[in-house]
Structure 1
Amino acid sequence: MPAPLPPISFGIGEPKHPTPEFIKDALISALSGLAHYPSTVGSVELRQALAAWLQARYQLPTVDEATQVLPVAGSREALFALAQTVVDSSRPGALVVCPNPFYQIYEGAALLAGAQPYFVSAQAQNFACDYNAVPADVWARAQLLYVCTPGNPTGAVLRLEDWRQLFALSERYGFVIASDECYSEIYFDEAKPPLGGLQAAQLLGRGFERLLVLSSLSKRSNAPGLRAGFAAGDAALLKQFIKYRTYHGSALNPAVQAASIAAWNDEVHVRANRAQYRSKFAAVTPLLAEVLDVRMPDAGFYLWARVDELGMNDTEFAQRLFAEYNVTVLPGSYLGRDVGGFNPGRNYVRIALVAELDECLAGAQRIVAFCQGLKRI
């Protein structure tokens, strides 16, 4: 019998590139800080580093490190906690509007805040959510809108006109926008970084009112275990958020803060990280495009591949690929919810190109072999 194939996982969006040594060195060098309770708002030095990074990355004239930026324990923690801060469950019919497909934290955060999620499905042709289809009475009950740009799982980036529409809706109905931008630093053209929410607000001549942007070092710096990121934007919202997090006990320990400062102050390792992803996408995407309906995303490290043309749905595809070739992908229907009897993730799989190039190529070659076998049947 042939030896079993070693496992290859494209299932979880966990970066596999090594964490840069200088980040680990900064963490170790600051361990003496563990003898002190950290402040919820973080050190002045960390907030200054975050504000400086935001200004440089998004061409913002100023970001007030004292009131417009807050260190958080990774974007996941902050995305969840923000809903607990801004949702008023005493208001009847409270809604949290979410993209569909989506990152599951949005749904859980809405439910545990006492609201119901309302899902806005992505359109197949460009993976953009159709906000024009949302009824006015839904917007009137919405208290929070989650957006993800670049999107998980599709990689779609919100354009300036998308932001114009969302800001206009927020101004009319008064809901808060939480922009999940944790994939913002993984893109393919160094001259064209993805547009961010704060940048869009600046370009459209408005302030940051009712807007918070959230990101982290997990993808940018290959440090998912560090649990370090930020929330930035509306100073009034951040004041409420700080109060919640003070009771919640979510302060970053001083060693993590020191490592974060080092990471946010350096772009060399981020450019090298992007170069690795560019190489993987350039090698893998054409291979998979021979057998699947798949194309390059706007940004991020996922491929969103349609599989129903092979005569099976996404869950069957994932199960058989794993059973026959020991490759794991994530069924797209797991990331979506039925809206009007239709799940926009159905018939897609998410392929996370997080491993090193050789492993990604090996996995792609197995997927090609699997699909070619199906087409011969």
Structure 2
Amino acid sequence: MNPRLSALHPYPFEKLRQLMAQAPVPPADLAPINLSIGEPKHATPAFIVDAMKNAMAGLSVYPPTKGDPALRGAISHWIAQRYGIAPPNPDTQILPALGSREALFAFAQTVIDPAAGSLVICPNPFYQIYEGAALLAGAQPWFINAQENLNFGYDWKAVPVDVWQRTRLLFVCSPGNPAGNVMALDDWKTLFALADEYGFVIASDECYSEIYFKEADRPLGGLQAASLLGRTDFRGLMCFSSLSKRSNVPGMRSGFVAGDAALIKQFLLYRTYHGSAISAVVSQASVAAWGDETHVVENRRLYREKFEALVPLLRPLLNVEWPDASFYLWAKTPYSDLDFARDLYGATAVTVLPGSFLAREAHGVNPGANRIRIALVAPKEQCLQAAHRIARFMEKH
């Protein structure tokens, strides 16, 4: 076996299963409500389902690794419209992917030299795929802690020079998981300057980009930031996005990678061997999804209603606020997040994710400690019921 596999940590939800096994059995009259997993529960739009049904003839052909030209064109058009920039070249700057998770992991394998003592800078808390991708590529993750006083952003200037010198890849997530914070243009300007100076690549995870609350206040994206700063070739930048949360199709496994043409070329070479092509069935459904915004506006409305209902209830109890974007609440707990999540489930049958499961201890602290992530993915009625149960639990504790 690959000895690097032994370096991987258990996934957060495996830790959660073990923790919940220690919890008291919840009252029998309370139906379980799971708000721990960021899996969209809103209905998949019918027109996407219909597009997939109408494309079944595509099962009889091997899909091209580079992706269907029509899909690459649809993605390029969507990027241009969404971010107000010139459309990326669909032939050289875009690759369809089997969701952003697959692409984020695979991309690290193409840009890391395992013999060079490479570092991969990861936000902390973070999506565990970043860490696993770094370790299995032969690099070591270096964690930069989110700071509440920076809107859960990062003090990039505090990273030591010797760390930057060994860095080959930097992961960012905006809107962030779990805090929902959005990177500003100044953050991008700082990172681009550092990438130019030290020669690392930026991988920008933007899978939550379409879950926001004001139609006129859309989160800034990496390609958009690069364009605004005159980096129209997107050098050193790869952005990853997905239909899963935007269009409520997590099981379809459809997303894209877009950015630096030189990086795309090498990633395509890797994928030729890796075997990560999107079938014609999924491609046609994806073209339909990227081409429609009405269902995405409606999706945001459903999330906004849940935040409007829950934040006033939970703010005085868990010191929770609206995020900039995404469908998570990043709430403080009055005592250990692990104990709180276990006790909450035992008393209320509501499952949340301990924040420390999403982070590592780095520089003397675990920035997820004494926090929980609440995913507002269930229907509004269930989320509201969960909030009332949490409120009663807090009143007793």
Give the TM-score normalised by the residue count of structure 2: 0.92
How many residues are treated as equivalent by the alignment? 370
Equivalent position of 1:100 in the other structure = 124
Structure 1 CA distance, aligned partners of 2:107 and 2:27? 52
Tell me the amino acid that sits aligned with residue 85 of structure 1: T
Match of 2:192 in 1: 167
The 3 A distance-change label for structure 1 pair 62 and 2 is closer
Partner Cα distance (1:49, 1:291) in 2? 45
Specify the code of the residue in structure 2 equivalent to 1:292: L
Supply the distance in 1 between the matched residues of 2:231 and 2:301 (Cα, whole angstroms).
34
2:113 is paired with a residue of what secondary structure? coil
Q: Which residue of 2 aligns with 1:279?
A: 305
Runs ≥4 in structure 1, deviation > 3 angstroms?
none
Query: 2:9 aligns to what?
Result: none
User: 3-state DSSP class of the match of 1:187?
Assistant: coil
Give the SS at the match of 1:120. strand
- Paired position in structure 1 for 2:103: 78
- Picking from 157, 161, 183, the partner of 1:158 is 183
In the alignment, structure 2 segments of 5+ residues that lack a partner are 1-25
- Match for residue 131 of structure 1? 156
Residue 32 of structure 2 corresponds to residue 7 of structure 1: yes
Q: 1:242-276 CA deviation, whole Å, 9 max, x = no partner?
A: 11011000000110001100000000000000000
Cα deviation for residue 3 of structure 1 reads 4.1
Q: CA deviation at 1:62?
A: 2.7
| Aligned residue identity for 1:316 | D
**1:282–1:334 Cα change, 3 Å:** same
Within-5 A mapping of 1:102-117 = 102-117=126-141
Report what 1:333 is aligned to. Answer: 356
Q: Distance in 2 between matches of 1:242 and 1:176?
A: 16
Superposed CA deviations along residues 148-193 of structure 1, whole A, max 9, x for unmatched, are: 0000001000000000000000000010000000000000010010
Alignment of 1:368 onto 2:394: no
What SS does the corresponding residue of 2:225 show, helix, strand or coil?
Answer: helix
Contact 2:27–2:348 (8 Å) recurs in 1: no
Instruction: Look up the equivalent residue of 1:60 and give its one-letter code.
Output: I
Query: Structure 1 residue 205: deviation in Å?
Result: 1.1
Specify the alignment match of 1:213 in structure 2.
239
1:290 shift after superposition: 2.2
Q: Distance in 2 between matches of 1:29 and 1:162?
A: 44
Displacement after TM superposition at 1:4 (Å): 2.6
Matched residues in 2 for 1:234 and 1:364: separation?
44
Letter in 2 for 1:66: D
Partner of 2:293: 267
Pair 1:149-2:174 in alignment: yes
Asked whether the equivalents of residues 27 and 347 of structure 2 are also in contact (C-alpha less than 8 Å), the reply is no
Partner of 1:200: 225
Does the Cα contact within 8 Å between 1:31 and 1:255 map onto a contact in 2?
Answer: yes
The reply to whether residue 347 of structure 1 matches residue 388 of structure 2 is no
Q: Is the 8 A contact 1:110 1:116 kept in 2?
A: yes
1:303 aligns with 2:329: yes
Match of 1:240 in 2: 266
Q: Does the CA contact (< 8 Å) of 1:321 and 1:327 recur in 2?
A: yes
**Cα distance in 1, alignment partners of residues 94 and 32 from structure 2:** 41
- Compute the RMSD of aligned alpha carbons: 1.0
CA apart distance, 1:146: 0.2
Cα distance in structure 1, aligned partners of 2:87 and 2:272: 26
User: Residue 82 of structure 1: CA displacement?
Assistant: 0.4
Q: Is the CA contact 1:335–1:345 (under 8 Å) kept in the aligned structure 2?
A: yes
Q: Secondary structure at the match of 1:224?
A: coil
What TM-score, normalized by structure 1, do the two folds share? 0.97
Q: How many percent identity over aligned positions?
A: 60
CA distance in 2, matches of 1:139, 1:27: 45
Instruction: Give, in angstroms, the shift of residue 90 of structure 1.
Output: 1.7
Structure 1: state its 5+ residue gaps.
Answer: none
